[in-house]
Amino acid sequence: MRITIAHNTDDATLKVVEHLKKRLEQKKDVVFDAKYPDVVITVGGDGTLINAFHRYENQISSIRFIGVHTGHLGFYTDWQVKDIDKMVDALFLREPESARYPLLEVELVTEANEKMHYLALNESAVKRISHTLEANVYIDDNLFENFRGDGLCVSTPTGSTAYNKSLGGAVIHPRLKALQMTEIASINNRVFRSLSSPIVIAPDQWITIVPNSDHFVMTIDGNRIDLQNAKMINYRISSREIRFDRFGHTHFWSRVQDAFIGGKDDFI
């Protein structure tokens, strides 16, 4: 089994990584391979795992992820430090079973009809920084609305708990392979009108955003890309998925409850 460990540089994390390496070295048939791993173990937070995802996104079909959190419980990093030994033992006890989550495929088309492709685990947003974004929004090539406001955010089901939720979007279970689009500070008056509500589309549908501007910003999982002369951006559910080892992978709604409401011990 080829394994690599991705981690942040916090002191607490480095201690965990040192212990994890020692435990893995005690197992037979373990090869540390950062180039072509079978398993990527991340130690840190969700940001650490997202960075690792983008590092290995071209190999995503052949990799399984395991997330260990050294801070607050994350949506992707749900193993606790105290359970490291249990996690290592479980990794070698049985054939792997994976929880699979949908990914967002982003296609940017330039005015010269050049196409660039990106993959997002959480979301992609389109914004203008100092001016209002104006854009035509299409669903399945049919014009849906003319948007004016700060921007638009398209998220995956797991990404629905991130930026999308802060915008008032719904939390969607990852078994639903659906895209969600939420508006960012839309302008609605007698002249300008948009739906002003998040929309969720089916797995076989797609969203196209055509900005009426030659300069705007697109983000992929928070990473900013400055764009000029872009013709359109197409969003759809990718045919690829991210895989997490199922053992120890916390129930989705339990993670939602813990992150936003509090654990059972917090209830009076």
- C-alpha neighbours within 13 Å on the C-beta side of residue 2: 8
Say how many CA atoms lie within 13 Å of 251 toward its Cβ.
4
> Which 3-state string (H, E, C) describes 66-128?
EEEECCCCCCCCCEEHHHHHHHHHHHCCCCCCEEEEEEEEEEEEECCCCEEEEEECCEEEEEC
Active site (annotated) includes residue 89 = no
Q: What is the 3-state secondary structure (H, E, C) of 5-24?
A: EEECCCHHHHHHHHHHHHHH
| Block residue for tokens 């990093």 | 77
Tokens of 225: 């890309």
Query: What distance in Å separates the CA atoms of residue 186 and residue 182, rounded to the nearest whole number?
Result: 10
CA distance 266 to 263: 5
Choice among 10, 33, 38, 46 that is catalytic: 46
Place of tokens 């999982």: 221
Tell me the catalytic residues: 46
